[in-house]
């Protein structure tokens, strides 16, 4: 399954972030997954739920999938707009010379981590008046 291999790669990146920050656990993972990414969000979520238990620090993590839509910019008139119903035409000048700005890939946006609390190791001394 395509989404399973993507989830494994995603979790590898997340674990590297967690290790680099000496995190106790991963709380939330936010990704962007657009209509041209080739990724089915429901299948990604299901794969994540199956695989996350393989990694202790990710057992309770929540995967949040954001859909950025399909923002594009017309190369002719420079209008920025959202592509609707996969109609790749500028709504202003009808040009098909467009640059897709987002929604064509799976992106890791944010990782929320639980970090270890600092322990005060110095004893507090003094007298109370």
Query: Over the chain, what is the mean pLDDT?
Result: 89
* Predicted pLDDT of residue 116: 84
Q: How confident is the model over 56-74, as a mean pLDDT?
A: 95
Q: How confident is the model over 21-43, as a mean pLDDT?
A: 93
Give CA 66 to chain center in angstroms: 7
Q: Are 98 and 66 in contact (CB under 8 A)?
A: no
pLDDT at 125 over 50: no
- Contacts by residues 78-87 (CB-CB < 8 Å, ≥ 24 positions apart): 86/35
Q: Are 71 and 60 in contact (CB under 8 A)?
A: no
Pairing of strands 62-66, 25-33: parallel
Query: Any idea what DSSP says for residue 54?
Result: G
Percent over 90 (pLDDT), the chain: 82
Q: What is the dihedral of CA 14, 38, 32, 89, to 10 degrees?
A: 160
CATH of 2-114 among 3.90.550.40, 3.30.2320.80, 1.10.150.20, 3.90.1300.10: 3.30.2320.80
């Amino acid at each position: 399954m395509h989404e399973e291999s993507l989830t494994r790669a995603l979790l590898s990146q997340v674990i590297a972030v967690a290790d680099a920050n000496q995190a106790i656990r991963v709380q939330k993972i936010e990704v962007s997954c657009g209509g041209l990414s080739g990724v089915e969000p429901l299948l990604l979520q299901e794969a994540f739920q199956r695989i996350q238990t393989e990694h202790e620090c990710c057992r309770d993590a929540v995967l949040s999938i954001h859909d950025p839509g399909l923002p594009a910019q017309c190369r002719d008139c420079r209008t920025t707009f959202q592509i609707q119903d996969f109609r790749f035409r500028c709504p202003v000048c009808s040009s098909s010379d467009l640059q897709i700005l987002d929604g064509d890939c799976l992106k890791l946006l944010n990782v929320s981590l639980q970090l270890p609390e600092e322990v005060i190791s110095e004893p507090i001394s003094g007298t109370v008046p």
